[in-house]
Structure 1
Amino acid sequence: MEIRQLEYFVAVAEEGSFTRAAERVHVAQPGVSAQIRRLERELGHDLLDRSGRAVTVTAVGAAVLPLARAALGSVESARRTVEEMAGLVRGAVRVGMVVSCGVMDVPELLAAFHTSFPGVEITLTEANSDELVSSLVDGRLDLALIGYAGPAPDGLAVRVLADEPLVVAVTDADPWRARESVPLDELLERGVICLPPGTGLRGALDEACGTRRPRIAFEVSAPPMVITLARRGLGPAVLAASMVPPDLHAVRITDPVPSGALAFAWRAEGPHSPAARALIGLAENRVTAP
């Protein structure tokens, strides 16, 4: 008994015709007929009734049909498994991350993935969150670590690592050094140090400001430079609470409280390669509830 014989039998039983079955399996009709005859001789019973205008299954054929379908299903599952494993051997994943993020050790995640799947090619890109979101939606990235404010970006599934308030970081010489909080209206009267538009942190600040625009005295592309400028006494620095170093004072922003999320993100609707699915699964397993 051969797999192709079962495939031809199922095709004829479902189509009710040798001609249509032959077209479906892309084999000449005599070849289909000959293989089914061999199968019937091997089993010792007719599986098809050829006496009418339409071909129908016999009682024995009706009993064999679901078993044949199950066998073909198992073969297809085995083929898909092999293809997926081949994808994990020869595949590629494209990863993005926001600049200078210390909440999740992305290189460590990629190293763990490489240990499990050494044949998969990995590329890593650093960019602002809006660029990463666009690349995910367009399919240029498989997975990215992004920051955002409000609901998750359209078209993306996310696994949140951290969701925390924004604060301003000041030095011992700053007028706000002894304060626990500052209203957003008061903050808007001072020039602040902040990341540029397109970053999750700036998006959280802009969302809290609404139609108002914050006074940005220094706009730099990475959190370490924001912190360096704040240490020089050049103004309050807008940061996520976890970013503030011990030598600066964190002052809460209130009325309202700006907040932003940091999350792994990927396209909510595939397609996802086997390698990408494996990396997404590994990332999800390494994320704890914020």
Structure 2
Amino acid sequence: MPTLRALECFVAVVDCGSVTAASVRLHLSQPALSHQLAALESEIGTPLLERLPRGVRPTPTGLAILADAEAALASADRVVRTGRALSDGSHGRVRLACVESMTVPVLAPILRTWARKYRDVDIELTEHSSADAMADGVAHGDIDLAVGPPSNRFTGRVAELGTEDIVAVIPEGLDLTDETAVSWTELRERSMVHYHPSNGLRVWIDAEASARDVALTPSTRTRSASTAAQLARAGLGIALVPVTALPSRFDGVVKPMRPPLRRTVVAMIGSPSDPLVQRFVADLLRRGIPGNRPL
């Protein structure tokens, strides 16, 4: 197999028209360059250059392989340039995953900045309702970085980003609308807008309620926290939703829990050595979780 160095010497000699000029261009001694040419001709099995009284010119075989030799060198150069661009984080791809309620308040501001600053970086974003599903995606190599609540399934590197408050959305006219906060005992035997099993909030909220000896009474279930807030506003029951799931101009009745109910937000990192992933995690840590206290 011809080496790239031998092909480089051959192309340089053809371009320059002499071994002497090519050796100057490549910063090689003439014996070293001649050795590369001899090795290439031996590999191919026929002369590639015709030695003239003043200089050299390619043989018919040399002319026939010249374009391919140039293409091979160009491809090798692209490999190096692409690799360097990826290593310094100026080009590449980041495959992100996020719980749906955090896409707009947490990721959108960072994505907007990246779209302006890093035009040669492709961002692929998928939304999930389950931290376990994201953890599996990261573990299997399908996701580079996932943002959401922690998952017991994930054993890789995790960066804590902050906490988010879980609040109660109360239907208008309910007696709890006059309270400054809602306790768990006040939720007992109340109609609740709860979550479908595919949404990780269901298991987490049920565990929090059970720890306080409260059994919730779902009147309806949904896969989306944003939809749960709207259904509660429409009067179908009380919903416990992350504040990140509430639109900025939500006009429903929202009460904090007493005591405050919060869950941790993390970044599950599948490619910790990737410079783009490192940069995105740094931006996440710098921004934190809007409207919530940092850890």
TM-score where L is the length of structure 2 = 0.57
Shift of 1:102: 6.4
The 1:161/1:81 distance shift into structure 2, 3 A limit, reads farther
What are the ranges of 5 or more consecutive residues in structure 1 without an aligned counterpart? 1-79
User: 1:240 and 1:121, CA in 2 relative to 1: closer, same or farther beyond 3 A?
Assistant: closer
Q: CA deviation at 1:174?
A: 1.1
Which has the higher mean CA deviation after the structures are superposed, 217-226 or 81-90? 81-90
Match of residue 250, structure 1, among 243, 254, 257: 254
1:193 aligned onto 2:193: yes
* Secondary structure at 2:164 match in 1: strand
- In structure 2, relative to structure 1, the CA distance for the partners of 1:168 and 1:83 (3 Å cut) is same
Give, in whole Å, the separation in 1 of the partners of 2:254 and 2:109.
29
Matches within 5 A, 1:126-145: 126-128=127-129, 129-145=131-147
Q: Which residue of 2 aligns with 1:280?
A: 281
Rounded to whole Å, the distance in 2 between the matches of 1:286 and 1:81 is: 32
Change (3 A) 1:210 1:153: farther
**What is the match of residue 121 of structure 1?**
122
Q: How does 1:226-241 map to 2 (within 5 A)?
A: 226-241=228-243
- Aligned counterparts of 1:182 and 1:108: Cα–Cα separation in 2: 32
Counterpart-to-counterpart distance in 1, 2:127 and 2:111: 14
Name the residue aligned to 2:98.
97
Give 2:253's aligned amino acid.
Answer: H
Q: Is the 8 A contact 2:161 2:285 kept in 1?
A: no
- Does the 8 Å CA contact 2:163/2:265 hold for their aligned counterparts? yes
Aligned to 1:3: none
Q: Distance in 2 between matches of 1:137 and 1:209?
A: 30
CA contact (8 A) 1:191 1:215 kept: yes
The DSSP-based 3-state class of the residue aligned with 1:210 is: helix
1:143·1:264 contact (CA, 8 Å) conserved in 2?
A: yes
Please report how far the alpha carbon of residue 117 of structure 1 lies from its aligned counterpart in structure 2 after TM superposition: 2.8
- Compared with structure 1, are the counterparts of its residues 200 and 84 closer, same or farther at alpha carbon in structure 2 (3 Å cutoff)? farther
Equivalences for 1:17-166 in 2 at 5 Å?
83-87=83-87, 88-101=89-102, 104-128=105-129, 129-148=131-150, 154-164=155-165, 166=166
CA distance in 1, matches of 2:147, 2:120: 23
Aligned partners of 1:213, 1:229: CA distance in 2, in Å? 20
Equivalent position SS for 2:102 = coil
CA distance in 2 between partners of 1:122 and 1:102 (Å): 13
**1:176-201 Cα shifts (integer Å, max 9, x gaps):** 22223444244131221133345454
Contact 2:157 2:272 survives alignment (8 Å): no
Contact 2:98–2:126 (CA under 8 A) maintained in structure 1? yes
Q: Distance in 1 between matches of 2:101 and 2:255?
A: 22
How many residues align? The count is 207
Residue by residue, what CA displacement relative to the aligned partner does 1:223-279 show, whole Å, maximum 9, x if unpaired? 33212211221111112356566633334444x754212333324xx4533332232
Report the Cα distance in structure 2 between the residues aligned to 1:282 and 1:83, rounded to whole angstroms.
23
- Residue by residue over 1:144-180, the C-alpha shift from the partner in whole angstroms, topping out at 9 and shown as x without a partner, is 221349x89543412324332x332113311322223
Is the CA contact (8 Å cut-off) linking 1:132 and 1:144 kept in structure 2?
Answer: yes
Tell me by how many angstroms 1:208 deviates.
0.8
Task: Find the residue that maps to 1:276 and give its secondary structure.
Answer: helix
Shift of 1:95: 0.4
Structure 1 vs Structure 2 CA RMSD: 3.5
| Distance verdict in 2 for CA 1:97–1:81, change over 3 Å | same
| Counterpart pick for 2:223 among 209, 221, 224 | 221
